[in-house]
Structure 1
Amino acid sequence: MTLIAPDTTVVHTTHGPVRGTVDGPVNVWKGIPYAAAPTGWHRFRAPVAPEPWTDVFDADRFGPAAPQSPMPGMPLGNVRKDEDCLSLNVWSTGTAGDRRPVMVWIHGGAYFRGASSQPVFDGRALADQGDVVVVTLNYRLGVFGFVDFSSLNTDDFRFDTNVALLDMIAALRWVQANIAAFGGDPDCVTLFGESAGGGAVTTLLTVPAAQGLFHRAIAESSPATSVYNQERAAHVARVFLDILGGAGDPVDRLLTASTDELLAASDELFARIPTETPGTLAFGPIVDGDLVPDYPVNSFWNGTAARVPLLIGTNKDESTLFKLMKSPLMPLDPDVIRGMFAEIAAEHPDVEFPDQARIESAYSGLETRDDALGLTRDFGFRLPTLWIVEAHARYAPTWLYRFDYATPMLKALGIGAAHATELPYVFGNIAHGPKEIPFLLGGLSTARKVSARMQQRWLEFAKNAVPVGLDGEPTWDPYDPIGRATMVIDKHDTVIADLDGPLRAAWGEQVIAFT
C-alpha cells in the first residue's frame, strides 16, 4: 500500500479549509475571502463574514482587485477588478503550532488605486528572509470605500461610514482568529503600510475598535492629516451625486448603479476635489465621532492613540513622483499654494497659523517649482510625521527615519528618493537584473545592500519592537524631544540628531491639524 503524505498547505480557517501552494521554502495562500462580497444591499455598508464553505478552497491565485482605472507604472498583476474584492494573502515558512511574528501590509494608492497583487508586494522574500508570516490584503477603494454617504441615511437604508477602514479591521480580526493555523503569533502582529496605507496605519492607531488587533506599527509616507470632518464628507457626497446623477432618489441610484458608472464618477471626483480645494483628497477617512473619534494627530497628542511601538518616516523627495505623473494631488503652482494657505486660515480662524512669509522664505520664496516641491512634500508628508513622533514618543517607543537612497538613474532623471521608491527595498523585490530602468546606470549591488539593511531593521522591529541593525550599523535610538534621533537610510546609513530642526523652525513648534 502506498501512503500519501498529507498536504501541508491545507489549513482549516474559521470559514472553511483552504489549500495553498509551495514557493521554495515558503508556503503561500492567495485570495482567501475574509468578508462577503460588498455588493447589492451590502454596498457602502460594513463588511460581513463570508458564508462558510466545506469543500477545500484553492487559494492559488490573487483575488480580484478593487474597481479602479488603470494607472501607468502601477501593475496590479494578472487579476480582474471586481467589487467582490475583500480577500487576503499569506506567506509563511511555518506550520500550525509555530508562533512566528506576523506582518500585515496595507497598500497605498491615494485611497483610490492599488492592490495586494502588485508584484512589489510579493511577500515571499520578506517571509523567507525574516522567518515571519506576511499578510497582504485588499480593501474597498475610491467611492466604494472612502465616500461617506451617511448624510443620505433614511429609515429604510443606512450607509455606514469609513467602510474601507472597517474592511481593514475585519481583515485584522481574521488574522487574530486564524493566523496561528498558518504558523503565526496572533499576539505579535505588526501593521505596516505606505502612502494611503500609511495613512490607514496612523488612523487605525487612533481607532478604539482596532486596539488589540495589532501590537506594533510601521507607517511609511503617511498623509496623516488627510482625514476630514463630516461636513466636508457630506459636501463630497453631494458632488459625487451631481456627477453620477440621481439626486432625486440617491439611495436607489447608489445601490443600483453599475460598477462602471460608479467608477467613472469616482474618477471625475478624484480630479475635481483637489482642483477645487488644493491640498485635499477626494477620498480618505472621516472623523465620524464613532469609529474615528477625532483627527488622528489630535488623538496622538491627547494620548488616546494605541500606545504601541511605532516606526515612522518619509522619503527625501516625496513630491517628485507627483510632478512626474502630473497628479492633481499635490499643488505645485506658487499662487495655488498661497491660495491654499489663505483658504485654510479662513476656515480655521481660531487657529494660530504659522507666519506665511517665514514659511515661504524657507523655500526660497516659492520662486521655482522645485521650491514648491519641497513645500508640498513637507506639508503633505514630513510635517504630519513630525507631529506624530513628537506626540507619540511621550507615550510609547517611537523611531523616525528618512529614506534618501536613489540609484544613479533615478538621480539623473530628477526623481531621487521619490514617493514609494522605498517599497522594493522593504519587500526585498528591488530588481531581477541590471537592465531594469532604475539600474540602467548601475547601483544594483548597492541597492541590494540597502535593502538587506532596511529589511533587517523592519524585521527586528516586527520581532522585538526595536529596529536593531546588522553588525557594524549605527545604533538607532528612539525619538525623544531632546535628541530627536533620525535614521537616514542611504548608501550608508547614519543617525542624525534633530535632522528636521530647520523645518520645525520654519513652521513653528505648534501642532496644527490641517483639516
Structure 2
Amino acid sequence: MSSLEVATAQGTVRGTVDAHTGIRRWKGIPYAAPPVDDLRWRAPRPPEPWTGVRDASTFGPAAPQPRFPMFDIGEGVSVSEDCLVLNVAAPESAGPDTLRPVMVWIHGGAYIVGSGSQPIYDGPRLVRDGEVVLVTINYRLGPLGFLELTSFGDETQTFDTNLALRDVIASLEWVRDNIAAFGGDPESVTVFGESAGGGMVTTLMAVPSARGLYHRAIAQSSPATSIYDAARARIVAEQFLEKVGVAPEDVSRLRDLPVETLLKASNALFDAVPTAAPGRLAFAPVVDGDVLSEYPIDAFRAGRAAPVPLVIGTNKHEAALFRLIRSPIIPIKADAIRAMFSQIAVERPELVIPAEEDVMSAYSRVREKARGLAVARDLAFRMPTVWLADGHSTVAPVYLYRYDWASRLLKALGIGATHATELGYVFGGVRSRKRSVEFLLGGHAVARRVSERMQRRWTTFAATGRPDGGAVDPIWPAWDTQTRRALVIDAGDRVADVDAGLRAAWGDEPLSFR
C-alpha cells in the first residue's frame, strides 16, 4: 500500500500529493451515512464500509444551500443531501510513526451556507509551515441541519434535535478513530471555526457528550448567544411547515418533499425572521435538553464548559459586511436596535437592561452614522465574546484577541476589518505570490507578515495550548478579569485592554434572547 492509500475503519482511501508543496490530500471521505429518505432529520449513522480502494481525489458534495455568486463552495463541487464528508490534508512530515497536531475546521455561513471545500479554506501554508494535519468538514445546513421537529413527531415518525451539531460530533468521532493513519495525533485535536462555525465551537464546548473528542478550541467571531429554546424553535418550525404547505399532523410528508422546496422555504424564513424580530436568526442550535442541556453562555459563565484552552476573538468592524451586502441578520439601524432591546426586555424580565444613554456613551467618539454598526457589532459578537472569556478563564486558559488589520482597499471601501476578513490570513491565502484585488492599493507585503504571525500563533496553540507563536512578539498573555489584556492583531501586534469602555456601558450580565 502506498503512502497515499490509507486504511480507515470503513475501508481504504487513495489520495493525491501536491507536487509543489508535498502535501498529501484526501477528499470527500464519508464520516456518516447519507442522511436521506428515512434518515432525513435523524441523527447521523455510521457510514457503510466498502471494499477495494475508494478514490479520494475530489471533493464530495456540499450540503443543500442557496447559491450566491459571491460565495464559492469550490470548483466543480456539487450539492446533495449526501454531504456528510470530510477532507484531510497532511504535511510530508506526518505519518503513522510521526503524528502531528490535528486542526478540525468548522466552516461558517450563518448556518445556511458553506462547505469544507471552499477555496478560502485551502491552507497549504498552514499545513506545511505549521506541521499540522488539517481536517475540513461538511455538516447539514438550514432546515435540514437546524429545524426542530421533535415536538411534531409520534410513535411512527421520529425526528432528532440539533442535527448539525450531531454531525460535527460524528466527524470528531471519525477523527478520533481514524486520523492516526493519516499522520494526525488523536490526542491533540483543536476545533476551530469562524462565524457560524465559531458558534458551533462555543456551543460544542457546552455539550457533555463531545468532551474528550478535542483538546483545544479556537472561536473566531462566534455569535455565542445566538442559541434558542425549544419554544422559539417550534415557532420557526411552524412557520416553515406553513411555507411548504404541510400541516403539523402530517409532518411525515416532509421526508418526501424535494430539496428545492425546502430551500425555497428556508430562504424566505432566513430573511423574514430577523426582519420581524431583529437580532434573531432563522436557524441556530437549540437548547434541547438532550445534546445541549443549557445555554452555552450560561455554561461558560458558571465554569461548566469543557475546560480546554481557548483562543477567542472578533474583528474590529464586524458589522460593516452586513451593511455592505444589505443582510437583515444583523440589526444596524437605530429602530431595529431599539426593537431588539425591547424584545430582550420583554422575554427576559430578570435581566437589568442597560439604559440606551448608558450604552451609547461608549460610542460618543464614533461617527453618528456608524454608531448602529458599532452597537450591532458589540451586542452580536464582541460582548458575548468578552462575557464568555470572563467565565471560561476560571477553569482554563483563554486568549482573547481583536483583529484590526485591514488593507488599504478595504479601508477605502469603508468596511475595514469586517466579518470574515481574517480568513485569508489564518489559512494563508494572502501569502500567495499572486496578488489579489484586495491589494490593488498596496499593502501586500504587510499582509503577508500579518498572516505569518497569525498562522504561527494558531498552529503553536494547536500544538501546545499556548499561542506564543515561537519568536512572534509580543507574548500573548492569558486573559484574566483583573488585567483584561487582549492581543490586537494589526500591521504590528500589541497587547492592551481594548474593552474597558464597552464593559462599563454594557455591564457584566450577558444580554441575549432565550
Task: Please state which band the TM-score falls in when normalised by the shorter chain.
Answer: over 0.9
Is 1:233 aligned to 2:228, yes or no? no
Q: How much has 1:435 moved relative to structure 2?
A: 4.8
Counterpart amino acid of residue 16 in structure 2? T
User: In the TM superposition, what are the counterparts of 1:402-481 in structure 2 within 5 Å?
Assistant: 402-430=402-430, 432-433=432-433, 435-471=435-471, 473-481=473-481
Aligned-residue Cα RMSD (Å) equals 1.4
Q: Which residue of 1 aligns with 2:294?
A: 294
Q: Which residue of 2 aligns with 1:70?
A: 67
Between the aligned partners of 1:333 and 1:472, the Cα distance in structure 2 is 40
Between the aligned partners of 1:428 and 1:382, the Cα distance in structure 2 is 24
User: In the TM superposition, what are the counterparts of 1:107-506 in structure 2 within 5 Å?
Assistant: 107-247=107-247, 249-364=249-364, 368-430=368-430, 432-433=432-433, 435-471=435-471, 473-496=473-496, 498-506=497-505
Aligned partners of 1:29 and 1:89 also within 8 Å = yes
Counterpart amino acid of residue 117 in structure 1? S
Counterpart amino acid of residue 47 in structure 1? P
Aligned partners of 2:460 and 2:470 also within 8 Å = no
Aligned partners of 1:299 and 1:305 also within 8 Å = yes
Question: Per the alignment, do residues 281 and 472 of structure 1 end up closer, same or farther by CA in structure 2, a change over 3 Å counting?
Answer: closer
Between the aligned partners of 1:124 and 1:265, the Cα distance in structure 2 is 38
Between the aligned partners of 2:437 and 2:470, the Cα distance in structure 1 is 29
Between the aligned partners of 1:151 and 1:363, the Cα distance in structure 2 is 44
Q: How much has 1:252 moved relative to structure 2?
A: 2.5
Residue 9 of structure 1 is aligned with which of 4, 14, 17?
4
Counterpart amino acid of residue 174 in structure 1? W
SS in 1 for 2:190: strand
Q: Which residue of 2 aligns with 1:43?
A: 40
Between the aligned partners of 1:52 and 1:105, the Cα distance in structure 2 is 25
Q: Which residue of 2 aligns with 1:507?
A: 506
Aligned partners of 1:453 and 1:470 also within 8 Å = no
Residue 52 of structure 2 is aligned with which of 43, 52, 55?
55
Aligned partners of 1:191 and 1:217 also within 8 Å = yes
SS in 1 for 2:505: helix
SS in 2 for 1:76: coil
Structure 1, residues 307-339: CA drift from partner, whole Å, max 9, x if none? 000000000000011011100101122012111
Between the aligned partners of 1:377 and 1:25, the Cα distance in structure 2 is 41
Between the aligned partners of 1:193 and 1:458, the Cα distance in structure 2 is 12
Counterpart amino acid of residue 88 in structure 2? V
Aligned partners of 1:434 and 1:444 also within 8 Å = no
SS in 2 for 1:476: coil
SS in 1 for 2:429: coil
Between the aligned partners of 1:239 and 1:277, the Cα distance in structure 2 is 14
Residue 90 of structure 1 is aligned with which of 71, 79, 88?
88
Q: How much has 1:510 moved relative to structure 2?
A: 2.5
Counterpart amino acid of residue 11 in structure 2? G
SS in 1 for 2:240: helix
Residue 31 of structure 2 is aligned with which of 34, 48, 52?
34
Structure 1, residues 396-434: CA drift from partner, whole Å, max 9, x if none? 011000000000111111110010000010011126456
Between the aligned partners of 1:435 and 1:122, the Cα distance in structure 2 is 16
Between the aligned partners of 1:87 and 1:150, the Cα distance in structure 2 is 25
**Structure 1 stretch displaced more, 350-359 or 391-400:** 350-359
Between the aligned partners of 1:453 and 1:378, the Cα distance in structure 2 is 26
Counterpart amino acid of residue 430 in structure 1? V
Counterpart amino acid of residue 152 in structure 2? L
Between the aligned partners of 2:133 and 2:217, the Cα distance in structure 1 is 15
Aligned partners of 2:314 and 2:403 also within 8 Å = yes
Between the aligned partners of 1:310 and 1:245, the Cα distance in structure 2 is 44
Between the aligned partners of 2:361 and 2:254, the Cα distance in structure 1 is 47
Structure 1, residues 89-129: CA drift from partner, whole Å, max 9, x if none? 00112122222100000000000101111101013221101
Q: Which residue of 2 aligns with 1:3?
A: none
**Structure 1 stretch displaced more, 345-354 or 289-298:** 345-354
Aligned partners of 1:363 and 1:372 also within 8 Å = no
Question: Per the alignment, do residues 301 and 234 of structure 1 end up closer, same or farther by CA in structure 2, a change over 3 Å counting?
Answer: same
Between the aligned partners of 1:335 and 1:408, the Cα distance in structure 2 is 32
Between the aligned partners of 1:245 and 1:365, the Cα distance in structure 2 is 50
SS in 1 for 2:463: helix
Q: How much has 1:471 moved relative to structure 2?
A: 2.3
Aligned partners of 2:344 and 2:511 also within 8 Å = no
Aligned partners of 1:298 and 1:513 also within 8 Å = no
Question: Per the alignment, do residues 172 and 512 of structure 1 end up closer, same or farther by CA in structure 2, a change over 3 Å counting?
Answer: same
Aligned partners of 1:297 and 1:513 also within 8 Å = no
Q: Which residue of 2 aligns with 1:22?
A: 17
Q: Percent identity?
A: 52
Structure 1, residues 25-59: CA drift from partner, whole Å, max 9, x if none? 21100000000110100001100011100111100
SS in 1 for 2:101: strand
Residue 81 of structure 1 is aligned with which of 72, 79, 104?
79
Counterpart amino acid of residue 252 in structure 2? D
Between the aligned partners of 2:365 and 2:227, the Cα distance in structure 1 is 29
SS in 2 for 1:228: coil
Q: TM-score, normalised by structure 2?
A: 0.97
Aligned partners of 1:98 and 1:180 also within 8 Å = no
Aligned partners of 1:434 and 1:442 also within 8 Å = no
Aligned partners of 1:456 and 1:470 also within 8 Å = yes
**Structure 1 stretch displaced more, 467-476 or 191-200:** 467-476
